A and B are shown apart, each in its own frame.
Chain A
């Protein structure tokens, strides 16, 4: 009896020794979960636990040392770098995949392309009617995500040059709600991850230089011609490198990148 107990405890410790904790971005949650699932299937001794909470939460955990890997849908902010430096954490960055944000409108909207400046005007509330950007005489209804979301932050820095959204922007609690609302509102515009684009909405072609307009798709995101794309990151402490290396090798392998595509993100 005693022996069994001891061996169970030893086994628990052995597993614990191999266990890797991943924490952070909710955007990356489905990706990491799927990767970890397959990784554990191939590698029965490994144990990976994945939790969400947001990019900021994951990086805070990395600073405090309560996670092995932080997943983030944005690069480290300057103050986070400073905090990591203060805490004496030397970190490494792994880009796991790309994600493209599609700007979507109602399918009945004749407008099919916009420049970055026009998008900035629309989302900051300076452009209020579709006829100002070559559409019908129809009020523009802007949908955004809640301020807590990493997608919101990314859109704000990448598309809007760090300017604030207009106060009358409708903020929705989830991407699904944006799709639902845009599909039933004629003058609507919103932004969603590429994986969420469906037939109920129309994705716009976007141009940052004002000349070439490119629509979001797996190909244009892969060859980086579509401008609203972001990297999805893993950050880890170099101290645990030996422990986490196998996982990253798997994520970056052909099989791991296939999973990226299955989940709806863009492989490297």
Chain B
């Protein structure tokens, strides 16, 4: 049987539109990912020293290269002698342009900074223990000091570094480990709290509750998903944080636990909806067979219903984690945002999304800090990709098992 021509044409057009919108969506996703990685990976070719600046020492100083971490500790005056970093026994004197006036008067430097280069050069020449953080353009050919270069930001330093000081001058520290562990830690706590609760509610709604109660509960739970995350953040800061502080008698209430509790509440609707749907797919015949064999309702639930829908429940849990990993605003407000590696739930942590949200606005475009934040975005992307692939895998396995 052939259809009339114009109907066929219409079908073709609709088909074309569907295919086009599909490919546009995939293209957009692809472009975003490429953009993310392109912006981020430039970081590993950069020096951690602020752009346009160099570090200079006296020409008689034997030190040629200084590790970026050491630079920070020198300028924080934690390292005070060249001896401790394979140099001579000489006190380290740090110099920034801000201190220039304690060495030279404004007249000497000149109103338009015309003598700046000469001043820097003679200063570096005259003080043997100096390390100066000065603009590159003031280093002229007749500069009497020696330039030292910190190593470029390496991948190892980035992923295993423990210090996150992206705006530290002269040498920024990009150690992402505390942020990554903080994110995973808060998410783990959230899932430990929300999974049992979410599962209990899902079973109750699917198996135990009568339709009237279910019709009241369901919209309320779905409403949870519609509340903006800033509201959760406020709630957390004003209610949960002081509560945790007084219950555990802590010095500070902004902890990973506060973040976990807020995220658990936010992940609940996802977990409940998906788990309930999957519990509902248990065939009526299986449940009836179980009941007919004399099993109680509870025995039926945990021997028949849960094993049957376990893959759906797992998917619910993983999607819940996904929700928790990417959440920004609520976490930013309640976890205290201290970039330290977490050892317990009763300690402040800083998460990746919170870091991006708090810092991207003020970082200079194209600079190392900006690029580091893009790599954080890549890490987040990879995390959620892994989560989605796991869900994919589990639900496909389930389909095979049921066949």
Question: Which residues of A are interface residues toward B (Cβ below 8 A)?
Answer: 53-54, 56-57, 78-79, 81-82, 85, 124, 138-139, 141, 146-149, 157, 162-164, 167-173, 177, 180-181, 184-188
Q: Is the CB of B362 within 8 A of A56?
A: yes
B98 partner, pick from A78, A141, A149, beta carbons under 8 A: A78
Query: B361 to chain A: which residues have CB within 8 Å?
Result: 53-54, 148
Q: Is the CB of B339 within 8 A of A167?
A: yes
Given contacts A148-B359, A177-B237, contact A169 B251 (CB under 8 A): no
Question: In the complex the two chains form, what is the Cα distance from A157 to B168 in whole Å?
Answer: 12
Tell me, yes or no, whether B208 is within 8 Å of chain A by CB.
Answer: no
- Closest beta carbon of chain B to A183's beta carbon, Å: 10
Query: B165 to chain A: which residues have CB within 8 Å?
Result: 147, 164, 167
Q: Is the CB of B358 within 8 A of A148?
A: yes
Question: In the complex the two chains form, what is the Cα distance from A36 to B227 in whole Å?
Answer: 36
Q: Is the CB of A162 within 8 A of B340?
A: no
Task: Give B138's nearest chain A residue, CB to CB.
Answer: A82
Interface centre among A85, A141, A167, A172 (most CB of B within 10 A): A167
Tell me, yes or no, whether B47 is within 8 Å of chain A by CB.
Answer: no
Q: Is the CB of A187 within 8 A of B338?
A: no
Question: Which residues of B are interface residues toward A (Cβ below 8 A)?
Answer: 50, 52-53, 72, 75-77, 96-98, 112-113, 135, 137, 163-169, 178, 237-238, 241-242, 245, 251-254, 332-333, 336-340, 348, 350, 358-359, 361-364
Q: Is the CB of A162 within 8 A of B362?
A: no
Query: A170 to chain B: which residues have CB within 8 Å?
Result: 252, 254, 336-338, 348
Question: In the complex the two chains form, what is the Cα distance from A141 to B169 in whole Å?
Answer: 25
Q: Is the CB of A187 within 8 A of B251?
A: yes
- Closest beta carbon of chain A to B225's beta carbon, Å: 24
Chain A to chain B contacts (Cβ below 8 Å), 19 pairs: A53-B361, A54-B362, A82-B113, A82-B135, A138-B251, A146-B359, A148-B167, A148-B359, A148-B363, A157-B98, A163-B75, A167-B339, A170-B252, A170-B348, A171-B336, A171-B337, A181-B253, A181-B254, A184-B241
Query: A185 to chain B: which residues have CB within 8 Å?
Result: 245, 251-253
A139 partner, pick from B238, B251, B253, B340, beta carbons under 8 A: B251
Query: B113 to chain A: which residues have CB within 8 Å?
Result: 81-82, 85
Query: A57 to chain B: which residues have CB within 8 Å?
Result: 362
Query: B167 to chain A: which residues have CB within 8 Å?
Result: 147-148
- Closest beta carbon of chain B to A142's beta carbon, Å: 9
Having A78-B98, A82-B137, A85-B112, one finds 17 other A-B pairs with CB under 8 Å, namely A81-B113, A141-B251, A141-B252, A147-B359, A147-B362, A148-B167, A148-B361, A162-B75, A164-B168, A167-B163, A167-B339, A168-B348, A171-B336, A171-B350, A171-B358, A173-B337, A185-B253
Interface centre among A54, A147, A149, A188 (most CB of B within 10 A): A147
Query: B364 to chain A: which residues have CB within 8 Å?
Result: 56
- Closest beta carbon of chain A to B1's beta carbon, Å: 62
A168 partner, pick from B237, B238, B340, B362, beta carbons under 8 A: B340
- Closest beta carbon of chain B to A156's beta carbon, Å: 9
Query: B164 to chain A: which residues have CB within 8 Å?
Result: 167
Question: In the complex the two chains form, what is the Cα distance from A187 to B339 in whole Å?
Answer: 20
Task: Give A186's nearest chain B residue, CB to CB.
Answer: B251
Task: Give A169's nearest chain B residue, CB to CB.
Answer: B338
Query: B76 to chain A: which residues have CB within 8 Å?
Result: 124, 163-164
Q: Is the CB of A171 within 8 A of B241?
A: no
Q: Which 9 A-B pairs have the closest CB atoms?
A: A148-B362, A170-B336, A78-B97, A139-B251, A141-B252, A147-B167, A171-B337, A146-B358, A163-B76
